[in-house]
Structure 1
Amino acid sequence: MQENITKVIERGERLDDLQDKSESLSDNATAFSNRSKQLRRQMWWRGCKMKALVALVAVILLLVIIIPIILKYHT
């Protein structure tokens, strides 16, 4: 009888430990999810900035090529 009580108490302790680990894992998963969303947004903005920079460079190159041609034939 006493052995059964000891086993029940040990089982309860293991369940408490398991619950603590489960809560910790859940908290870590939430933190990971939030950080990954933040990183995804950050990388999206970085990509947008890079595309804008490439477009700006392309426009400047076109202007550098086209303006002298226009000025040459205009005069």
Structure 2
Amino acid sequence: MSDGRRSRPLERLDSEVSEVTSLLRNNVEKIIERGEKIDSLQDRSEDLEAGSVQFRKSATNIKKKMCWQNCRLMCIIGVIVFVVVAVIIIVIVVEVKPWENGSGQHHNHTVTYTTRIRFNPD
């Protein structure tokens, strides 16, 4: 029986060692999984950073393109307004024909108004 008494504490100790070993293995597996997740997150963050740099470049290029397009549109509108104003001025000048007023003398037409004032001495 002395072997039976010794075997029970050894069995209990062996069981505890097995339990601790199992816990350690689980902890190591969790640490490895956590490390893999961290690596995955780091890869994703690097991809996002690269994507943001590319987005910034694209946005800057589009902004420049739209600015030039807006400038070109304003120039076209300015030219159209200038042409319309020029056509209106030409039409007015052709209709009035200031060169047909004779020898180029300007005629001043003066209108005189006369007013009569009546006094009634009552």
Question: Same fold by TM (over 0.5)?
Answer: yes
The answer to whether structure 1 residue 25 and structure 2 residue 54 are counterparts is no
CA RMSD between the two structures: 1.2
Q: Say how many residue pairs are matched.
A: 75
Q: Counterpart in 2 of 1:61? A: 84
Q: Give the Cα–Cα distance (whole angstroms) in 1 for the partners of residues 82 and 71 of structure 2.
A: 16
The answer to whether structure 1 residue 74 and structure 2 residue 86 are counterparts is no
Choose which of 18, 27, 33 in structure 2 pairs with 1:10. Answer: 33
Q: How far did residue 68 of structure 1 move?
A: 3.4
Q: How far did residue 25 of structure 1 move?
A: 0.7
Q: Give the Cα–Cα distance (whole angstroms) in 2 for the partners of residues 20 and 9 of structure 1.
A: 16
Give unmatched runs, 5+ long, in structure 2: 1-23, 101-122
Q: How far did residue 74 of structure 1 move?
A: 3.0
The normalised TM-score by structure 2 is 0.57
Q: How far did residue 7 of structure 1 move?
A: 0.8
The normalised TM-score by structure 1 is 0.90
Question: Bigger radius of gyration, 1 or 2?
Answer: 2
Q: Which amino acid aligns with 2:42?
A: Q
Choose which of 41, 51, 54 in structure 1 pairs with 2:64. Answer: 41
Percent identity reads 32
Give unmatched runs, 5+ long, in structure 1: none
Residue 51 of structure 1: SS of its match in structure 2? helix
